[in-house]
A and B are shown apart, each in its own frame.
Chain A
Amino acid sequence: MPGTPGKPGARDIAVVAFAQSPHRRRTDELSEVEMLMPVLHEVLGRTGLRTSDIGFTCSGSSDYLAGRAFSFTMALDGVGAWPPISESHVEMDGAWALYEAWVKLLTGEADTALVYAYGKSSPGELRDVLTRQLDPYYVAPLWPDSVSLAALQARALIDAGDADEPALAAVAARSRAAAEANPYAQLTGSVPAGDYLVQPLRAGDCPPIGDGAAAVILAAGDTARRLCERPAWICGMDHRIEAHSLGVRDLTDSPSARLAAERAGAFERPVDTAELHAPFTSQEIVLRKALRLGDDVDVNPSGGALAANPVMAAGLIRIGEAAARIHRGASSRALAHATSGPCLQQNLVAVLEGES
């Protein structure tokens, strides 16, 4: 592969600041921009930068969550895009907005980037909305909801002997216990497993539905060192997609996550922390295997998507949480992961390191 980033010649780029909103079931009192703006202020405040100092801005969001076309255009109000800014948007999770911004910084055209993402799942019925992501000819007309699809994957995992229901429950319990230390989490502590939503997944195996926003600032080289005491350097980042149809995939595996991790250099040295975007307990088990994460790795110390899953922001939050851990000195090498599409169709992996 020509010119792999992270190899000699490429620029050093780091996450230097992260902020997120409190994640809540509903935020009716706030428009999207009202929800987002305090997060933008916070992340800028951490670096002392103003919008006009930022070299590139990129965001991720979805019209289908909002129920309105061009919903992202009004969110720009919260940025203060005046004088005009160099800016782009992906109709994807904000983790991919961060990827676009990282590439922009790699070109040398900008030294800093503001990345943000937001999603309000509360206005619609998320399980129905996400059916509109599926093959519009053969699958979407059946309206199979996101929990049902994840349950098909969980069953495949159980059949393969990779998990059982107590193992799933243990993932849920560990995540929500960890989330007790996360003031932004929506669901924390001892959460009952509850009834089956779609068997074999119980309510406790599923992510909370809610609203939230997140923002990250990236900076290159000496700028990063100036803005942050202990920058979280991006050693590598890659993302891969799989075939769309569940019927042609091995649901117990995540080859795209593994390939992304390999290309991001995740397997070159062990990580101490992994923030995985696994909305369902079963998906954490799939990802742990694909990403070769042993028991010595601290997985989802933030509580992960099982504690808060603002759709379109939850992947960016994984990168932010992993980086924040490095900023605090609690991790020296962390893996962050984001996913999109039914049953982990698309996966992104970033490897972050702090300087010792």
Chain B
Amino acid sequence: MSKEPVAVVGIGQTKHVAARRDVSLAGLVREAATRALDDARLTWADIDAVVIGKAPDFFEGVMMPELYLADALGAVGKPMLRVHTAGSVGGSTALVAANLIAARVHGTVLTLAFEKQSESNAMWGLSLPVPFQQPLLAGAGGFFAPHIRAYMRRSGAPDTVGSVVAYKDRRNALKNPYAHLHEPDITLEKVQASPMLWDPVRYSETCPSSDGACAMILTDRAGAARAPHPPAWVHGGAMRSEPTLFAGKDFVSPQAGKDCAADVYRQARITDPRREIDAVEMYVPFSWYEPMWLENLGFAAEGEGWKLTESGVTELDGDLPVNPSGGVLSTNPIGASGMIRFAEAALQVRGQAGEHQVDGARRALGHAYGGGAQFFSMWLVGAEPPPG
């Protein structure tokens, strides 16, 4: 039995900002959901099920908030699932929703991810004072920075590569009306002059903390035929996990990431991702992760990822644009960040990315990861329906 092809026919985001003080949690998710419905020209009655994701409940201080959000998302009388796979959750949530269609359990599904980080403090939520444990010695960047140093050592990348990524993503964000950080005066010099927080990570190379939500409407072939705008078709999707910490773990290029990408490429019949993929939305919370993921995802050989970045290949007008939306470096409502990657990839192949559209994008990769670089979720979307 073959799977039902899955199409993305509606996408909605909130304007991501540091604090959305004008809306409740319900109001925030609702805004993204209604925009997605409007995009698909559908109503609440057309939705068969809702799949929602977010990062830890402690971020907003509501345990299993989907119970309270059911009314706002038109889920009453419908199935509602809540996914939580750490930072990769936005991607995983979309994949769980896609499987409901692929398995022909439902015809049309609303999937949504959000974080309203201003309700509390993410660092508090992540560093609850668990007894007996050694206190965290540094903030979030302190967790990532040593892995970046390891990458630099391993690849021999010049220490300017991180700032090149940050400068590119912040400029791309200027073309994305939903991006959180809009820094019209950004220059490479400003990035390189920003304070060194967790050496080798500078302030301008870190992600912001955002309030935001992202929603997508996924549907089957019949639903896609009725869609008012060109759909994005899912050509492959996968999740992979490995343990948090283990002997032999490669934090620079985790095996789970490689395996996940390989699975997606196999499904999408991609043999040369560098040539066959037109745009990538990857989860880059700290600038250096762009070259690291370029290698992990098979776009560059080991130790060579930074050369793509440095030579401008990943620029918006480059040969392989990475994060045309401005990426996580410009927008980070944690639980939604992965779904934004998936949605932005879909926008590209639908030709609806506006000013940050990559010309002629036919196939795009959405990527998310989380935990101790242990949970990965990815999908590959295309402008054409999958073959067969």
B247: min CB distance to chain A, Å: 10
Find chain A residues with CB under 8 A from B75 CB.
241
The segment from B33-41, B61-69, B291-299, B314-322 that touches chain A is B61-69
- A242's nearest neighbour on chain B, judged by CB, is B76
B58 within 8 A of A: yes
Instruction: Find A5's partner among B48, B82, B92, B104 (CB 8 Å cutoff).
Output: B104
Q: How far is the CA of A135 from the CA of B65 in the complex (A)?
A: 8
- B247's nearest neighbour on chain A, judged by CB, is A82
Contact B70 A70 (CB under 8 A): no
With a 10 A CB-CB cut-off, give which of A84, A130, A242, A255 has the most chain B CB atoms.
Answer: A84
The 0/1 profile, CB within 8 Å of B marked 1, for residues 324-355 of chain A is 00000000000000001110011000000000
A3: min CB distance to chain B, Å: 3
B128 within 8 A of A: yes
B372 within 8 A of A: yes
The 0/1 profile, CB within 8 Å of A marked 1, for residues 20-55 of chain B is 000011000000000000000000000010000000
Q: How far is the CA of A6 from the CA of B118 in the complex (A)?
A: 45
Using A9-B1, A103-B105, A136-B25 as known contacts, say yes or no to A90 and B84 having CB atoms under 8 A apart. yes
The 0/1 profile, CB within 8 Å of A marked 1, for residues 80-101 of chain B is 1111111000001001100110
Contact A100 B243 (CB under 8 A): no
Using A107-B99, A243-B70 as known contacts, say yes or no to A73 and B57 having CB atoms under 8 A apart. no
Using A108-B3, A129-B63, A340-B64 as known contacts, say yes or no to A85 and B240 having CB atoms under 8 A apart. yes
A11 within 8 A of B: yes
Contact B105 A68 (CB under 8 A): no
Contact B100 A64 (CB under 8 A): no
Find chain B residues with CB under 8 A from A239 CB.
79-80
The 0/1 profile, CB within 8 Å of A marked 1, for residues 122-134 of chain B is 0001101010000
Find chain B residues with CB under 8 A from A241 CB.
67, 70, 75-80
Interface residues on chain B, number (Cβ under 8 Å): 68
The segment from A91-99, A163-171, A285-293 that touches chain B is A91-99
Find chain A residues with CB under 8 A from B207 CB.
none
Contact B128 A69 (CB under 8 A): yes
A134 within 8 A of B: yes
Contact B63 A256 (CB under 8 A): no
Contact A3 B240 (CB under 8 A): no
B327 within 8 A of A: no
Contact A63 B243 (CB under 8 A): no
Instruction: Find A73's partner among B25, B222, B254, B372 (CB 8 Å cutoff).
Output: B372
Q: How far is the CA of A67 from the CA of B61 in the complex (A)?
A: 11
Residues in A176-235 with C-beta less than 8 Å from chain B: none
Contact B63 A132 (CB under 8 A): yes
Contact A73 B103 (CB under 8 A): no
Using A69-B125, A73-B244, A100-B81 as known contacts, say yes or no to A107 and B103 having CB atoms under 8 A apart. yes
Instruction: Find B240's partner among A9, A70, A87, A136 (CB 8 Å cutoff).
Output: A87
Residues in A39-81 with C-beta less than 8 Å from chain B: 57, 62-64, 67-70, 72-74, 76-77, 81
Q: How far is the CA of A99 from the CA of B61 in the complex (A)?
A: 26
Contact B241 A76 (CB under 8 A): yes
Q: How far is the CA of A64 from the CA of B67 in the complex (A)?
A: 14
Contact A103 B241 (CB under 8 A): no
Contact A5 B103 (CB under 8 A): yes
Using A73-B371, A241-B78 as known contacts, say yes or no to A108 and B243 having CB atoms under 8 A apart. no
B159 within 8 A of A: no
Contact A76 B243 (CB under 8 A): yes
- B222's nearest neighbour on chain A, judged by CB, is A2
Contact A68 B128 (CB under 8 A): yes
Contact B259 A3 (CB under 8 A): no
Q: How far is the CA of A89 from the CA of B125 in the complex (A)?
A: 19
Q: How far is the CA of A86 from the CA of B375 in the complex (A)?
A: 10
Given contacts A67-B128, A74-B244, 12 further A-B contacts (CB under 8 A): A68-B128, A69-B58, A70-B126, A76-B243, A81-B243, A82-B242, A82-B246, A88-B96, A88-B239, A90-B84, A91-B57, A106-B99
Shortest 9 CB-CB contacts between residues of A and residues of B: A3-B104, A106-B103, A84-B256, A69-B56, A87-B241, A91-B84, A64-B63, A132-B63, A84-B242
**Can you sample 15 A-B contacts with CB below 8 Å?**
A2-B222, A68-B128, A69-B128, A70-B371, A72-B84, A81-B242, A84-B241, A89-B83, A90-B84, A100-B81, A106-B103, A107-B99, A136-B62, A136-B65, A238-B79
